[in-house]
Structure 1
């Protein structure tokens, strides 16, 4: 059987690294995309891979990733839009530069990757799985801070992740007839570099602990599978039961 091919953005560490490992364990060829070297991820892969280092805010770089993926593997079956930034400035102090960074990295790059992977590649093969990593912040506006802003994900992060969720649903309606699904996984408080040093209030969660990247990756792997062929436009919260 011909191996599937997956593009994973933000694959150098954290959730993206865990997703790349999980897909590789399922005999899927992984295209690792990150501004930083994916050395630690590569050491844990069990299958074929290709690495691209660059800025996903650059349309030219996105074109390069897709062109080289088609050149080396001939197709793209799975797209995981995971790369992201998280500014923690308050509404009062956030600068336009900070706002633009989160909106561009989290939302604009997701749009561009989807557009350029679907047309023409997934459209021509009439098959594909798109999974966008959003966040509980995109569903509930982020944690209640009670006047404290340090550590709380900022308004640009919440807005961008909410946008990812809306985009996911829009795309699902647009391309379902092509046998391409588009879903989102929304992590809650998860132990990654982005959350390091942040004190999350998790005592009120039904599962009162931090999540692990591997738990997010397991949800992504399911949505990327053929078994998930009748699931689209959904947001799967992996959050210890916080949002229900």
Structure 2
């Protein structure tokens, strides 16, 4: 895949899917900007080269988002790839969910995706007439959550499902808006994947065609395709990487 010397911003890069995405991009020669609330030291140790920028802060903060994009452009001159990956997931049901729980998931998963997209596209990707935006959504945003546990308590909550459904809708809207500028926007929708968010959740893998939990690298490999120049004719797509749980 053609990615060498591209510049990529990856949110949630300290661990899990974000870490796997950053590492796989670095192996393709991409300069990676690691964005997280927590230290990205563990990710940095796995990178294939030393061309990276670490930006630590709250992605729900508009000023932090702008500062991250500005630091990226100051160091590398341009932005080719944006991976909106960082997320939170409350598993409370609609009866017990608080307004704070709701706002946290919506602000982290959807609002931050909007803010990073806006800041990267205008003016940088638009002026360059090139860009690859990949949003990590979830099958929860399509089917309302993967059932887990005998009583269903492990299912992701309504705020998570709503936020990821919003990410999917935003992906399609942005794809239509930015296609004329040679900017694509796609989404990867993971199913059950081994990350901090899913630790301890009792997924019923018998429901899947592929009877194992996914890995961050499974998701990162899909991101890698959408980030490449070879994906120039793919936009507004939602690629489910879920072991086949969404077949029927």
TM-score band, normalised by the shorter chain?
over 0.9
Structure 2 SS opposite 1:203: helix
Give RMSD over aligned pairs: 1.3
User: Judging changes above 3 Å, is the alpha-carbon distance between structure 1 residues 205 and 149 closer, same or farther for their aligned structure 2 residues?
Assistant: closer
Residue number among 15, 27, 30 corresponding to 2:32 in the alignment: 30
Structure 2, unpaired ranges of 5+: none
CA distance in 2, matches of 1:183, 1:190: 19
Poorly superposed stretches of 4+, deviation over 6 Å:
none
Deviation at 1:242, TM superposition (A): 1.1
Query: Cα–Cα, structure 1 residues 209 and 3, in superposed 2: closer, same or farther, change >3 Å?
Result: same
Task: Note if contact 1:133-1:185 (Cα within 8 Å) is conserved in structure 2.
Answer: yes
Matched, 1:95 2:98: yes
SS in 1 for 2:206: coil
The correspondence for 1:125, drawn from 125, 128, 132, is: 128
State the alpha-carbon separation in 2 of the partners of residues 147 and 117 from structure 1: 43
- Structure 1 unaligned segments of length 5 or more: list them: none
Distance in 1, matches of 2:150 and 2:204, equals 15
1:182-201 equivalence runs, <5 A: 182-201=185-204
Deviations 1:126-159 (A, max 9, x none): 0000000000000100124698353211000000
Q: Which residue is equivalent to 1:136?
A: 139
Asked whether the equivalents of residues 102 and 160 of structure 1 are also in contact (C-alpha less than 8 Å), the reply is yes
Structure 2: distance between partners of 1:116 and 1:55? 15
Q: Is the 1:88–1:149 contact (alpha carbons within 8 Å) kept by the matching residues of 2? A: no
Aligned length: 244
TM-score by length of 2: 0.96
TM-score (norm 1): 0.97
